[in-house]
Amino acid sequence: MNTPVVEARSTTLIRVGETCERLIRFTREDIATFARLTGDTNPLHYDVQAAQRARHGEIIASGQQTTAQMIGLVASHFSRSDDGRERELLCLNFNFAFKAPVFAEQDLVLHWRVASVEWNATLGGWLAQLDGRATVRHAHPCVIGRGTLLVKGDD
């Protein structure tokens, strides 16, 4: 019986344990503008009085505003070439869970960590699983996420 030979591969394009992080802050104006541009008419994103009557009592960012920043961080970091390596990146899948509101004028730390990397011969690149979170000053998570990337390059 012939056993197929599996080619052992490794990469420096993306590594298990690699992280990226960014600090952001949404102003009330940022939140209202993003909501308007994306067609989100929920008054919790722009009406202070409506927000004060609601459960959270203050203007909150839409979930898509925070997750867009999280995906943007991943796309920027893993498509970079500042280390002399040319990369091609496709974001294949992201899932998010919303754990707490993101308020205006609140420092939010976006953080991603590569959980696994494996070669995919069919796609001709590295499939990476990432775990992410958006937290208030490294305290409680407001958003948690999981993503799948395809990274190609000159390995």
pLDDT tens digits for range 126-151: 999 999 999 997 688 999 999 999 99
Q: Which helix (H) or strand (E) holds 97?
A: strand 87-98
- Nearest residue to 120 (alpha-carbon basis) of 3, 1, 5, 7: 7
**Architecture, CATH, for domain 19-153:** Roll (3.10)
- How do residues 69-124 score in pLDDT, each as one tens digit? 999 999 999 998 888 888 999 999 999 999 999 999 999 999 999 999 999 999 99
Does position 155 have pLDDT exceeding 80, yes or no?
no
Residue with tokens 């009557």: 53
Q: Mind listing the pLDDT tens digit for each residue in 29-67?
A: 999 999 999 999 999 999 989 988 888 889 999 999 999
pLDDT at res. 5: 39
DSSP state of 100: S
| CB contact at 8 A, 92 and 74 | no
Give the three-state DSSP class for 119: strand
Q: What is the pTM of this model?
A: 0.89
